[in-house]
Structure 1
Amino acid sequence: MFETLKSFAEEIVADYGYIGIFLVAFTESIIQPVPPDPFITGGTAFGLNVITAAIIAAIGSVLGGIVGYFLGKFLGEPFVKKFVKEKHYEKGELLFRKYGIWAVIIAGITPIPFKVICWLAGIFEMPLGGFILGAFLGRFPRFLAMAFLGQYLGHL
């Protein structure tokens, strides 16, 4: 499985480079299920610049997150509940009510599905500026760690 993922990441990076990383990060924050991490790691393992890859991924993820935020805001709770289990929705609401920006930061760093948090931030009318700040503060360190991991693996 690792070899297949490695080959796929290498192909994406060879064909699309930073644009591929941006597009995967952008779309993952809205709806698609594949996280950008293996593409960032693969990209830097195959020679992309660590800082540039992390920044581009973070910007793509935050911009995609803004799209998800507005989809949540305008499509609202009934639409989202068609795709999100009730227990996850309730956990998300509790998370936002209790932690605010920290909920976004935590979701950005951890394996919590970031797209769900983006949509919920819009539904629960989190201030957009706080959402953007939290998204960048969560996503950039995660992607930077993945980029450094790729650089390390590329030198093995």
Structure 2
Amino acid sequence: MNVFKRLKKMFSKESLMLEDGTLDFKQLLFKTIVLTVLFLSIIFFIIQVTNLQAFNESAPIQKFISDFGMKGVALFVYLVDMLILPLSPDMMWPFVLKWNPLTAIFVMGASSMAGAYSAYLLGRLIGLIPFIKHLTLRLAGGDSEKILKKYGMWAIVISGMTPLPFSTICCIAGIVKLKPIPVLLACQIRFLRMSIYFLIYASILR
């Protein structure tokens, strides 16, 4: 089996599920570590690029960075965790590593938590429209629904700390009508996640 096929198998949804329908936590932990290292490499590259003299002297890039600011980071993280997009909040770390740690963790964590809960509320709305409900569940695949039915609110906690599709699981949680208060509590895991990731990235890259 070549490298491409190995990577494809490792990052497929099926590789995270055991035959009895439970999560393969060993594989999930491995995938989390691999993706963290990958993002570290990407962020390190971005930081090196932003430190280049030619980059610093580029007025358009400087304007983009100065205009981006806290509101831009918050909006990006919110939308990524509300909508099912092929993006990650981790893409914002190069912009926030120089911030005060508490500010960075609060902005990233609060935006992510708000986005996740908005995805849940969106799921509740989708659940009221049978056609859209069935279409969404079919597009999301069966694994997210299975995980939620097996683990309940803990599926949100687990996905909030690992590469499981967080926004998808939050949306499906709304469709299958998990109770709102447990979901809101489960979404707070994003503060812990952002704290840990900030410490990892800052200790290595700052």
TM-score higher than 0.5: yes
Q: Is the contact made by 1:44 and 1:154 (CA closer than 8 Å) also made in structure 2?
A: no
CA distance in 2, matches of 1:127, 1:141: 22
- Is structure 2 residue 86 aligned with structure 1 residue 33? yes
Within the candidate set 64, 84, 103, 1:52 is matched to: 103
Out of 80, 83, 86, the residue aligned to residue 136 of structure 2 is 80
Aligned-residue offset at 1:13: 5.4
**8 Å CA contact retained: 1:21, 1:53:** no
Q: 1:82 to 1:26 in 2, by over 3 A?
A: same
Q: What CA deviation, in whole Å up to 9, does each residue of 1:55-110 have, x standing for no partner?
A: 2111111211122112211113223135323xxxx322222222112110000000
Instruction: Give unmatched runs, 5+ long, in structure 2.
Output: 1-40, 51-60, 128-132
Given candidates 189, 197, 202, the residue that maps to 1:146 is: 197
Equivalent position amino acid for 1:74 in 2: L
| Cα deviation, residue 151, structure 1 | 2.2
Structure 1 residues 38 and 146: alpha-carbon distance in aligned structure 2, compared to 1, 3 A threshold = farther
5 Å matches for 1:6-21?
Answer: 6=47, 14-21=66-73
1:115 deviation in Å? 0.9
Change (3 A) 1:49 1:13: farther
Query: What is the alpha-carbon distance in structure 1 between the residues aligned to residue 74 and residue 100 of structure 2?
Result: 14
2:118 alignment partner, one of 37, 53, 67: 67
Query: CA-atom RMSD, angstroms?
Result: 2.5
- The range that moved more, 10-19 or 121-130, is 10-19
* 1:102-142 deviations in Å (ceiling 9; x for gaps): 110000000111110111110111111111111112x1122
Cα 1:124–1:109 shift into 2, 3 Å:
same
User: How many residues align structurally?
Assistant: 147
- Give the TM-score, by structure 2 length: 0.62
Identity level (%)? 25
Do 2:109 and 2:194's aligned partners in 1 also have CA atoms closer than 8 Å? yes
